[in-house]
Amino acid sequence: MAGENQTVSEYIVHHLTHLTYGKLPEGFVKADGTVVGASGEWTFAHGPQDIAAMGFMSIHVDSLMWSVGLGLIFCWLFYRVAQKASSGTPSGFVNFAEMVVEFVDGTVKDTFHGRNPLIAPLSLTIFCWVFLMNLMDLVPVDLVPHLFLLSGVEYQKIVPSTDPNITMGMALGIFILMLYYSIKVKGFGFVKELTLNPFNHPAFIPVNLFMEVVGLLAKPFSLGLRLFGNMYAGEMIFILIAALFSAGVAWMLPAGLLQMGWAIFHILVITLQAFIFMVLTIVYLSMAHEDH
């Protein structure tokens, strides 16, 4: 909840600020009044001004830490399931994991029309990883940041999918696979697809190339920004509801009910967004394998 000496605006900005590591430029005046020396200074940011001064090469440490950590948790869980799997009737988490695998496998069979042993495990990884990242949005917004604040860490965002660097990074990886399989499967036909479609005439090559390249680039942008936009909006609503708790005792019950209601609805959102990211990945890679 918003602190006594913190306005609602400051509370929201604090929760939306990443734990950022980067290089402050020469001559930058830090919050404590000291000036950065001639060679610059690599350090953690202590506010939006520091983050702006660090520029493009800064690193969101919290997003990287939580995304990698959740990926390792997914790998460990499914490794344990693989060890316990048997020909008998599954139970407990093994049964749940098998249901997820069968669901993803069925989706791949219905959507992907080529032959590639990578698609099914890639789809399973994307669905589970994105779901776990989205699931962090259900953790109370003040819990983890407050625990980190007690240990001296000023900022902490725990939902990696609300960081466009993470979602666009994943989308870029899918885009690279799209280009790789388009060239591998279609060869020179991929160039013809970009230059002679939809107008099959040499005079329209510039028009075709422009439209096809724009359509091609739109795929990773839509993939990454859709996930980011939906999760960022959901996180913002949680923060706004949490800010209501500081408005007085009369708002405690309404804020609690709103928090619970939005959390229940958000369970559908986080699952749906993971599913959409997975399905679009399968569709885009299927298009890359289609050789007309």
pLDDT per residue as tens digits for the range 41-68: 899 988 888 898 898 889 999 999 999 9
- Can you tell me the distance from the alpha carbon of 257 to that of 227, in angstroms, rounded to the nearest whole number? 26
pTM above threshold 0.95 = no
Which pLDDT does position 28 carry in this prediction?
87
Backbone angles phi, psi at 160, to 5 degrees: -60, -30
Q: Is residue 15 part of a domain?
A: no
**Continuous segment of H or E residues that includes residue 38:** none
Pairing of strands 20-24, 41-44: antiparallel
Cα 116 to the center of its chain, rounded Å: 25
Catalytic residue among 197, 226, 246, 286: 226
* 116 a catalytic residue: no
* 115 a catalytic residue: no
* 226 a catalytic residue: yes
Catalytic residue among 9, 95, 200, 222: 222
Q: Is residue 240 part of a domain?
A: yes
pLDDT of 2 > 60? The answer is no
In the block, tokens 């093994």 appear at: 94
- Can you tell me the distance from the alpha carbon of 119 to that of 287, in angstroms, rounded to the nearest whole number? 13
Q: Is residue 33 part of a domain?
A: no
Q: Is residue 6 part of a domain?
A: no
Look at the chain and report how many structural domains it folds into: 1
Range of the domain at 116: 61-289
What is the side-by-side strand order in the sheet with 59-60?
41-44, 20-24, 59-60
- Model confidence pLDDT, tens digit, residues 227-284: 999 999 999 999 988 888 877 778 888 888 988 999 999 999 999 999 999 999 999 9
Q: Is residue 216 part of a domain?
A: yes
Q: Is residue 17 part of a domain?
A: no
Backbone angles phi, psi at 177, to 5 degrees: -65, -40
Q: Is residue 159 part of a domain?
A: yes
Contact 222, 277 (CB under 8 A): no
Q: Is residue 103 part of a domain?
A: yes
What number of CA atoms fall less than 13 Å from residue 284's CA on the CB side?
A: 27
Catalytic residue among 58, 63, 182, 230: 230
Which pLDDT does position 255 carry in this prediction?
84
- Give the tokens for residue 195: 């230059």
